Structure 1
Amino acid sequence: MNPKSPDRYKYLYLLLFLLLLTACVVRPLDRTPYQQSDYYQETISDLHETPAIISHGDTVQVGWAKVNITPPVGTPLAGYGKRMGMAYEQVHDSAWARTFAFSNGQTEAYYVALDLLIVPMEVLQELEKVYPALGLKPEQVYLTATHSHTSFGGWGKKLGIKLMSGKYDEELVERLAQQIVQSIKLARQQLQPTKIGFGSTSAASLVKNRLLDDPDNPYYQERLQNRDTELRFLKFERPDGSMAILSVFSAHPTILPSDDPTLSRDYPGVLVDALEERVDFASFSAGAVGSHSTVYFEGDTFESTEAVGDRLAKLLREELRRVEPKYVSTLGYGRVELELPKPSWRIGKGWRMAPFLFNSIFGEHPAYVTSLQVGDVVFLGAPADYSGEFVAGIAAQAQQQGQQAIVTSFNGGYIGYITPDKYYNLKEYETRSMNFFGPYSGSYLTEIMLRQLQQHQPQ
């Protein structure tokens, strides 16, 4: 008998164990076209069963209100995993919930803009518990965020979310939901007949496509064309002269450094504050910010946030004079659940982490495509860092329908970065680390958003 045989068996058992472990935690990448999938068919069925609600009533009344949501010093910041849950020590500019209320006598709807990284999934769940007491359905409340990476966290339960938002605080989540409800009630109390107008102006010098910013990238030459450069806004004007602005722009608010323990809204805060020097109320929401960064020249400083925010405010005010608002009577809203494939968090070109491992790290949360129609303007909300490269196609379809489209991200769910399918094999942060659901996420989500937009087409 060979005395080394037991060692050979030990190594064999170890090898078998490692092979079995690999088989449990690693799966081949699924490249089945999404149109052939059950999840796609289920979402299409849901679209047909729960179409957008469009009503044509009396003149749309508008109300607006804001509530300070800044938590106590010591609350973690959200936006960068390398902070390791670092708490903020001082406030540069406070965080707010800013809400618009709309009613045309037949139905009502709300637009909520939060000075947060995203609309947290846990907050959405809390809100859905209290909507009935307000006489509302979830689809009547259109949720957005500024996507500031220097606002507060404390709202994520799972490990993967905690890395970006710090230790979970149940009281903070409950309080934030109550503050949003308070803003809804206050805005509802301020409803008045109001003229509404859409405006848009180019801010091309302030946004770049960071995904294509590397000269070695095969799509580098397309970087200037493949951007969403428009600063879009709604102008609200009342007979007494009071005015409000709702603004949307597709550039990441990531100017300020990750190692500064200071709470701030980044450039959106400067923009909103500058607008409110001239008008009664203003809000900002992140547009299709996926792969889009802000262009600035004073370093990662508050001087840069001031420069970018002031420049956007100046551009908007210049265009504001050209917008002729009018009374409208159409009000609509919609929400469809986006059924998803099994997670495809890649660990190599053709391999992904087993779905159960991904879910244990990030959790399983519902995702929705949301919509809000005010007059001939349709907002479309994505549960993701949605790429600005898709916006041109959505805007074109809206124009064919005789409408204007405004795309926002972070509507209460989160499915990662959504970029065009052709970039899927790029070894970049957006396309590798933050692509959670496979090679066709961009085409799939965009098709559903276009179908949702079509439901708002005038009959």
Structure 2
Amino acid sequence: MNTASKKKVSRSWYWLLLLLLFPACIVQRIDRTPYQETDYYKETLANLNSGPATVTTGDTLEVGWAKVNITPPAPAPLAGYGKRLGMDYKEVHDTAWVRTFAFDNGQTEAYFVSLDLLIVPMLILQELEKEYPKLGLKPEQVYLSATHSHTSFGGWGRKIGIKLLAGDYEKEIVQQLTQQIVQSIQLARKNLEPTRIGYGSANAASLVNNRLTKSREDRDTELRFLKFERPDGTIAILSFFSAHPTTLPSMQPILSRDYPGVLVDDLEERVEFAAFSAGAVGSHSPVYFQREPFEGAEEVGERLAALLRHELHQVETSFIRTLGYNRVPLLLPEPQWRISKNLRLAPTLFNWLFGKHPAYVTSLQIGDVVLLGAPADYSGEFMDELMYTATQEGLQVIATSFNGGYIGYVTPAEHYNLDKYETRSMSFFGPHSGDYLTEVLQLLLRQHDKTAPALPSAEPK
């Protein structure tokens, strides 16, 4: 065999070897190691132990609130559905806002921020952390959340995978949104006054469905809310519900807040201020019967508002003095973006598409109510476990999703093998991510002071 022929054979074997090795480079088996045996679990426990919650009992809690318009002028990208491929909206049906509550008991201060967005974008979290020192704040003092509207604006992600869901990156949107959030914090801080606070809930089982299992048992059916009442009778409401705001057509080029906007606007016809945050929305969808655009959103929003108003006058309020918060890094396994029952794409490919972002669990304690923030579409099927832990601790618990990171849908491990969108395409970190995150949230909840009674006196101190 001459030299040229030998080179040809050598090249042939080279390409054959590449073809044989290529699948092994991009496809791997699902890792089903129990999370309790992993290093990431042990590191997260260490983070929890080394970073206990800040809980203070000071003077009577003062509360302030404010909202700032965050709507980019049309055209701008929509966020929420990959099949849009970054489609722009042409008109604005209802304005998007950032709504913020400020809390101060003389010992410390904290803030609750809700954005009329699909999620709290990872780049926004990154930019806000540059701004917090200018406000005299640490990141753990600002509790971030979103309404999860699938028809609000995007433009806030650089990676290819994020652009598919949120449109082309626009630096101006990120810069403006960051400053608008900062402005809302400053305005709420200026509006602080001694305020009575009460917790309430209403059963809204007729308005939520478990779209993953179709079971009527595995649902979070509660519409939860906090009532804020000032001595002059002024009232504000912060509400939470675990159903995806997905009542509007996916390919309609119109910006809207979906049913949370209808709920908030309805309430603000009767009280001074209202805000909404998505609860444990993973696997939960809204139930409605109207099919024309915006009629479904109006149906769900108006019915939720009616339920809340019915309970509102029965909720007693009192002055409280306890305020607490925490933020703990959540360590994660390698990404497991699944392509079949037992196979996943290599983590490097996932990270190339979506990027690597820090994830945290967050908490905010107001009296005996503790809010827990998850960096995910957190399933309402876990609420029973969180409520059981809260009862043991003498607390009320509210879970919210989308706190500035995003690790996909997290659902119970027994659902992992279902051939469903949530468990196949959007379960990014393996079969145990939901159970792992829930245990961490339970441990975070136990950090908070269960001896945090409301002040019986009507007079602030």
Residue of structure 1 equivalent to 2:373 = 381
Residue correspondence of structure 1 range 434-453 to structure 2 within 5 A: 434-453=426-445
**Residues 55 and 449 of structure 2 are in contact (CA less than 8 Å); yes or no, is this contact kept in structure 1?**
no
Secondary structure class of the residue paired with 2:79: coil
Q: Over the residues paired in the alignment, what is the CA RMSD in angstroms?
A: 1.6
Instruction: Give unmatched runs, 5+ long, in structure 1.
Output: 214-222
1:457 Cα deviation from its structure 2 partner: 3.5
Aligned residue among 363, 382, 385 for 1:393 = 385
Aligned to 1:315: 307
* 2: CA distance, partners of 1:346 / 1:8: 37
Matched ranges for 1:78-93 at <5 A:
78-93=79-94
- Following TM superposition, by how much is the alpha carbon of 1:8 offset from its aligned partner in structure 2, in angstroms? 8.2
Matches within 5 A, 1:125-136: 125-136=126-137
2-structure distance, mates of 1:46, 1:10: 52
Deviations 1:250-272 (A, max 9, x none): 00000101111100000000000
How far apart are 1:379 and its partner, in Å? 0.1
In the alignment, the residues of structure 2 paired with residue 168 and residue 390 of structure 1 have an alpha-carbon distance, to the nearest angstrom, of: 34
Corresponding position: 1:264 with 2:256: yes
CA displacement 1:104-130 (0-9 Å, x = unmatched) = 000000000100000000000000001
- Which residue of structure 1 lines up, in the alignment, with residue 459 of structure 2? none
Task: State the match for 1:112 in structure 2.
Answer: 113
Q: Matched residues in 1 for 2:240 and 2:413: separation?
A: 25
Determine the structure 1 residue equivalent to 2:17: 16
Maintained 8 Å contact 1:338/1:367 = yes
Aligned to 2:237: 245
Is 1:336 aligned with 2:328?
Answer: yes
* Preserved CA contact (<8 Å) 1:395 1:404: yes
Q: Name the SS of the counterpart of 1:211 in structure 2.
A: coil
Match of 1:136, SS state, is coil
Say yes or no: does 1:416 pair with 2:408.
yes
Q: What displacement does 1:70 show?
A: 0.3
Alignment of 1:95-174 (within 5 A): 95-174=96-175
Q: Which runs of 4+ in 1 moved over 4 A?
A: 4-13
Shift of 1:16: 1.9
Look up the equivalent residue of 2:199 and give its one-letter code: F
Structure 1 residue 458 displacement after superposition: 2.2
CA drift of 1:303 comes to 1.1
* 1:285 equivalent in alignment to 2:277: yes
- Residues 70-127 of structure 1 deviation map (CA, whole Å, 9 limit, x = unaligned): 0010110000011111111111000000000000000000000100000000000000
Contact 2:330-2:359 at 8 Å conserved across structures: yes
Paired letter, 1:277: E
Which amino acid counterpart does residue 322 of structure 2 have in structure 1?
T
CA deviations 1:179-220 (Å, max 9, x no partner) are 00000000000000000000000100010000013xxxxxxx
> Does the CA-based 8 Å contact 1:255-1:300 persist in structure 2?
no
Q: Tell me if the contact between 1:420 and 1:442 (Cα under 8 Å) persists in the aligned partners.
A: yes
The answer to whether the Cα contact below 8 Å between 1:257 and 1:300 also exists between their aligned partners in 2 is no
Quote how far apart the aligned CAs of 1:10 are.
Answer: 6.8
Give SS of 2:132's match: helix
Task: State the 1:14 CA deviation.
Answer: 3.8
Structure 2: stretches of 5+ with no match in the other structure: 452-461
**Which amino acid is the alignment partner of residue 318 of structure 1?**
H
Q: CA deviation at 1:9?
A: 7.3
Q: Percent identity?
A: 67
Supply the AA of the counterpart residue of 1:41.
K
Corresponding residue for 1:349?
341
Q: Which residue of 1 aligns with 2:205?
A: 204
Q: How many aligned residue pairs are there?
A: 450
Q: What residue number does 1:429 align with? A: 421
Q: Equivalent residue for 1:225? A: 217
